A and B are shown apart, each in its own frame.
Chain A
């Protein structure tokens, strides 16, 4: 019996015990809510597997299997992998030979641009947040507010001067330009978010370390930073999601070589005047979802570990 228990526990099945833990009853309720919340996404993923003619059928087809006769035949479609192939290779004109669409390049661009700009913003922003939190400048709140202001105007207002500026400098259509722009785009959120995490930390631990002879650098890296890992993970995830899907800046500033997937996706589904190509759009979106989904999933443990794990609260 004891052995049996440990296997269940190893799989994550645990009996309810103590404060802050709930049992399978909670799992059932949350599972139903989560599934309903997830349904529109599930529909997009299923659409990616539909044959072209099933995409716009009335009634809408909902499932690739009949679940042992549970779902009536009119709602069932036969899944196909064709759409994923046509993301990378398809004929551009009616009846033409299949040609490469360049989407491999666009995926590469999205990964390079999003990851480097979010990491850059995280490094610069965390340093700044620590500065704002621990070494307040004269007029600290004013600086913070000006930083927040950079997120308040619609992108279209910032974009015209930026286009002109990039054209003069020769940065338009380059990786450097768009990465720097996205770094700035992420900074405001990173600074505000990380500052609120640093503000929550207890100063007692840091002071104790200083009395014991730790340098300011050491206090930052060995004491403050490890306590805000949850905050770093959350900020990274938010920044990545926003940058990954950003459309307007990418549309107006990326050149043919640095085009990101959202821009290419928009062109691919609305080109040729044949209306929206639903299965193609769904296939691109499904592929596009995978990297950011995986990153979020693996950072989740950090997100949930707790902000002030094992320390004194201010």
Chain B
């Protein structure tokens, strides 16, 4: 054991001794910082070691992994642990119950039907909103793909909906859909003469939510697709024009390979976000008319009813589903790009 800045084994040994002493002798808040400093010291040893061995991959990735571990992965593991305990955030007691929370969430007479209903609704919202966003975003990107006068100023108009705070745009959508004051009802009433209430049926409520969500997030898809579209070298199109390749074929053989990666990225991130749809539902329907989503349901269970560990169990079931879905999708995407 030689004493040098890149000896990480020595750093770990010393670190363990110091943190154990700190935990025993000092209060929690002070010992937390000492353990943090020790972790930083060990990390520094790893960094120096990696630098001496020219191990750049690890070096470049380390800061990101460290931040993600402290702020995301550690809390995630914590709540995974909680899902095996009976724990309520407004009470002190905690005891180990194994898989009981998972069984309860899936089969309990009172909880299970609501959970399954929310799950089915979430699946419906994912399919509808992501499809709408991809189609609208893609069409918008095609509109903006070529250089034309004033393009810059028109593009920013389309991007603005994405910049609005969900609180404001959601509240204003309740106003647009409002049966007495809203614009939509005013227009429809003027045409049909009847009293039109969009949010009174399930179809109407779902349409309203999907419309608002697609309106807000299609620009996201558009911007990613556009970044791919403008990167296609012009000489490819010129060559295709000389060879009299049809527009349709040009799109599939030249344009599409350039935007495929970004299109996939947009699809991936919008799908993940759509699974978490809650804010618009809270603002527009409060879960009424059978529009409850799993994410809103979780907020109710974990925050309003204080059933922390049952919420954690339900969300890990959801995470499992998202992981299976994403893996399937990444597998298909990878196989496609290797085949091409």
- By a beta-carbon cutoff of 8 Å, the part of chain A in contact with chain B is 12-14, 16, 18-24, 26-27, 29-31, 33-35, 37-38, 40-41, 43-44, 47, 56-60, 124-125, 127-128, 130-132, 134-137, 143, 145-158, 160-162, 164-165, 168-170, 180-181, 183-185, 187-189, 191-193, 196, 199-200, 216, 230-231, 234, 237-238, 241, 244-245, 247-248, 261-262, 265-266, 269, 276, 278, 281-282, 284-285, 288-289, 292-293, 296-297, 300-301, 303-308, 313
Contacts and interface: CB of A to CB of B under 8 A. Distances in A.
- 7 closest Cβ pairs, A-B complex: A131-B60, A135-B57, A184-B71, A128-B64, A161-B75, A161-B78, A307-B231
B128 interface: no
A285 B168 contact: yes
B95 to A, nearest CB: 18
Nearest to A313: B233
Contacts, number: 308
Interface stretch (B8-16, B97-105, B140-148): B140-148
Contacts of B245: none
Contacts of B169: 40, 44
Contacts of B175: 276, 278
A162 B227 contact: no
Contacts of A148: 268, 272, 326
Interface residues of B, number: 104
B315 A154 contact: yes
B164 A131 contact: no
19 contacts: A20-B146, A26-B143, A47-B172, A60-B181, A60-B182, A132-B57, A134-B56, A145-B326, A150-B73, A152-B319, A153-B319, A156-B303, A158-B72, A241-B163, A261-B165, A282-B172, A293-B160, A305-B230, A307-B227
B147 A22 contact: yes
Nearest to B146: A22
B60 A128 contact: yes
A2 to B, nearest CB: 19
Nearest to B327: A145
Given A131-B59, A289-B164, 8 more contacts: A134-B56, A154-B295, A154-B318, A196-B265, A237-B223, A247-B165, A281-B168, A296-B163
Given A158-B72, A193-B265, A296-B156, A128 B63 contact: yes
A187 B64 contact: yes
Given A12-B149, A58-B181, A192 B302 contact: no
Nearest to B241: A19
Contacts of A284: 168
B237 A20 contact: yes
A58 to B, nearest CB: 6
Contacts of A18: 234
Nearest to A159: B75
A262 B312 contact: no
Contacts of A37: 140, 157-158, 161, 215
B217 to A, nearest CB: 11
A248 B143 CA distance: 35
Nearest to A33: B143
Contacts of B89: 160
A168 B228 contact: no
Contacts of A282: 168, 172
Contacts of A143: 61, 65
Contacts of A180: 67, 70-71
Q: Give the secondary structure class of A's interface.
A: helix
Contacts of B138: none
Interface stretch (B41-49, B107-115, B273-281): B273-281
B61 A128 contact: yes
B278 A154 contact: yes
A43 B172 contact: yes
A124 B227 contact: no
Given A34-B154, A157-B302, A304-B226, A245 B165 contact: yes
Given A154-B315, A168-B32, A247-B279, A124 B64 contact: yes
Contacts of A38: 157-158, 160-161
A292 B275 contact: no
B227 to A, nearest CB: 6
A244 B160 CA distance: 13
A12 B298 contact: no
Contacts of A184: 67-68, 70-72
B261 interface: yes
A107 to B, nearest CB: 13
Nearest to B63: A124
A16 B82 CA distance: 63
Nearest to B224: A234
Nearest to A245: B165
Contacts of A237: 223
Contact of A216 (B29, B56, B220): B56
Contacts of B150: 12, 27, 31
A168 B140 CA distance: 48
Contacts of A244: 163, 165
A161 B186 CA distance: 47
A189 B169 CA distance: 24
B302 A160 contact: yes
Contact of A265 (B76, B168, B176): B168
Interface centre among B73, B168, B323 (most CB of A within 10 A): B168
Interface centre among A12, A124, A262 (most CB of B within 10 A): A124
B127 to A, nearest CB: 17
B163 A181 contact: no
Given A60-B181, A157-B312, A158-B79, A187 B68 contact: yes
Contacts of B176: 40, 43
A20 B160 contact: no
A127 B64 CA distance: 8
Contacts of B74: 161, 165
A146 B73 contact: yes
